[in-house]
Amino acid sequence: MLVICAISVVVATAGVVSGIILLYLIRLFTNLFYFGRFSLAIPDLANAHLALWTILVPVGGSLVIGLMARYGSERIRGHGIPEAIEAILLGRSRLDVKVAILKPLSSAISIGTGGPFGAEGPIIMTGGAIGSLIAQLLPVSDNERKTLLVAGAAAGMTTVFGTPIASVMLAVELLLFEWTPRSFLPVAVAAIVAAVERNFTGLANPLFPCPGSMEVTVLALGCWVLVGLLGGLLSSLLTQLVYACEDGFLKLPIHWMWWPILGGVVVGVGGYIEPQALSVGYTNIAEMLHGQVLPVAAVLLLVVKAIIWAVALGSGTSGGVLAPLLIMGGAMGTVLAGLLHIPHIELWAMLGMAATMGGTMRSPLTATFFAVELTGNTHMLLPLIAACGTAHAVTVLLMKRSILTEKVARRGHHLVREYRVDPFVLTSVSEVMTTPVETVPDTMTLHGAVAFLTSPTTLHPSFPVVDSAGSVLGIVDPPAVLRWRREGRHRTATLGELLAGTKVAVAHPDEYLNAIAERMNTSNVAHMPVVSADSGKLLGYIGWKDLMRVRTKLEAEERERRAYFRFRSAAVD
């Protein structure tokens, strides 16, 4: 674990470098394609007066991306996080050099030509690819490679947004598929190192300062829940809209390479109507968190951004979902505050951002900490977790999967996002073993064993063989009898003679089932005698059926409902 933590420091530094390169490439391409200048200055598309010809800019960028995906790597399509999940679960956490190079380049072209995406998905994929490549140079296990991949992703996200805690939470809620020190600590190291190194890049920290607090009252709680409900509904609508667009593109009689061009047309027209809907839109986020966006303008931004984002993402172009979700959620919060005439409109925009992000990605803790770190406002923790938790509940009830796992599921892979402790780790052999045990003596002959096993009164397929002292010599079952007969063993041979020198796989009552399951698999046995560790005497018998009873018990705990205390009305004389 300590070695992997040390390697994650190198991965983090590489992730910071890749994040800075991606941000600079986005600035360069935006300045180049919209303003005709070769500059790394931060461009302002929100207040730009775009000419009619700029409708073609996203179309040109989409054409380049389609060619890159067709002849470079198809993995650059999409918003990055589902591809990272798929690589972790199905690809042994191995990503190639093409992804590390083409993903940030394609995303920079997409966003730089007006694509309504964020940089977080691409940098997660890019940082993950870098971590995977470094791990592939070293003799590490698949789990360690996965950890380094996620460490690179966390470092990249920290670089772009300055949110190390949220990056670690994103790893826990979405990418690691486990919660253990061996995975958590290296990822935490990478995020912390990236946060420290980010301070030397000149990027703002926090990225979008938003001071202020909300009064904690019952009425305020109702409003937080309302924002969460609306955020959850918006999350469901956006997810369905994205995949409805994707289904529509699948029906087109043309190669998928050309789909981004059609999406680029929609982006170009939408951007001409509302320029603020183009590109990453960090200016929009900043203005909403300063209360500078009017509700009417927020409605237009929400509608246009949702349409062009869903169409472009459904077309298979390259870009992230996080920044667009913040913008659309912030617009929703702004509109709600305007309709209800609530003061501190910027704080309600923050709640809308976090609720929409947490609901759509089904990562309420990530969204909560992300909003806090993004704004530097720790006073909003309670309202944020209330809104994010409510949004999460809404999307869980309305949708089978999130916007991230739906894409993986559509490729034929089932994902479970709920972490539980393995019941085999918590259950000892003594809790499930069969007692008392029916045994056969070592003096029984092979002929007698055949007659016993084939008798209608025999209820089990295998039995422990014990000697006169009660020690276990082995197990007799139909496969063992067939093996002995094929070997030509005489029918009068006793089981003690047949089992002489046999090594018996046994279990002890204080062992846990995870070790027993592994021992059964290694020994290729379906049943195992349970013996005392001190005397070696037979205490019980355990088989696969006993192991499965643990799972049945777990399911019963989820399904069965029972009241243990009942109130009875007393008769009154």
Distance of CA 436 to the CA centre of its chain: 46
Q: In what order do the strands lie in the sheet with 440-441?
A: 440-441, 463-466, 472-476
Tokens at 194, concatenated: 């990236």
Q: Which two tokens stand for residue 143?
A: 């789990």
Task: Print burial letters for 59-73: b (CB count within 10 Å at least 16), e (below 16).
Answer: bbbbbbbbebbeebb
d(CA 377, CA 368): 11
Residue 512 pairs in a beta bridge with 428
Place of tokens 């037979």: 538
CA atoms within 13 A on the CB side of 364: 19
Residues of the chain with pLDDT under 70: 46, 79-80, 89, 414-418, 567-573
What is residue 301's predicted lDDT score, i.e. its pLDDT? 94
DSSP, res 362: T
Number of helices (H), then strands (E), belonging to the chain: the values are 24, 5
Site of tokens 């969460």: 228
Q: Which long-range contacts (CB under 8 A, 24 or more apart) does 517-524 make?
A: 517/424, 517/547, 520/544
Q: What is the pLDDT of residues 288-303, one digit of tens each?
A: 999 999 999 999 999 9
pLDDT of amino acid 82: 73
d(CA 86, CA 78): 12
CA dihedral (374, 378, 381, 383) in degrees, to 10, reads -90
Residue 1 DSSP symbol: -
| pLDDT score for 80 | 66
Task: Count Cβ atoms below 10 Å from residue 425 Cβ, excluding itself.
Answer: 10
Gap between the Cα atoms of 487 and 496, Å rounded: 16
HSE of 137 in the Cβ direction (CA atoms, 13 Å)?
9
Name residue 280's amino acid. V
Contact criterion met (CB below 8 Å) for 147 and 183: yes
State whether the Cα torsion 376-382-385-391 is positive or negative. negative
How does DSSP classify residue 378? G
d(C-alpha 402, C-alpha 396), whole Å = 8
Rounded to whole angstroms, how far apart are CA atoms 390 and 384? 10
In angstroms, how far is the first alpha carbon of the chain from the final one?
Answer: 73
Reduced to 3 states, what is the DSSP secondary structure of residue 279? coil
Rounded distance, CA 19 to CA 378, Å?
A: 26
Q: Where are the alpha helices (DSSP H) in 137-217?
A: 142-161, 164-170, 181-198
- Angle (CA) 345-281-62 rounded to 5° is 150
**pLDDT per residue as tens digits for the range 80-132:** 677 777 777 677 777 778 877 887 888 888 888 888 888 777 888 888 888 88
The residues, ordered by sequence, that sit 6+ positions from 145 with a Cβ below 8 Å of its Cβ are: 92, 93, 94, 132, 135, 136
With b for 16 or more beta-carbon neighbours within 10 A and e for fewer, the 11-22 pattern comes to bbbbbbbbbbbb
pLDDT value for 178: 81
DSSP assignment of 304-343 equals HHHHHHHHHHHTT-B-BSHHHHHHHHHHHHHHHHHHHT-S
d(CA 83, CA 100): 13
Rounded CA-CA distance 315/250 in Å is 9
Per-residue tokens: 28: 């360069």
CA 83 and chain centroid, separation: 11
**Phi/psi of residue 377, nearest 5 degrees:** -110, 95
Complete domains list, the chain, with CATH: 2-198 (1.10.3080.10), 218-410 (1.10.3080.10), 424-556 (3.10.580.10)
Of 416, 310, 312, the residue nearest 362 (C-alpha): 416
Omega before 206 within 30 of 0, i.e. cis: yes
Is residue 162 within 8 Å of 198, Cβ to Cβ? yes
pLDDT of residue 383: 96
Q: How many CB atoms lie within 10 A of CB 76?
A: 27
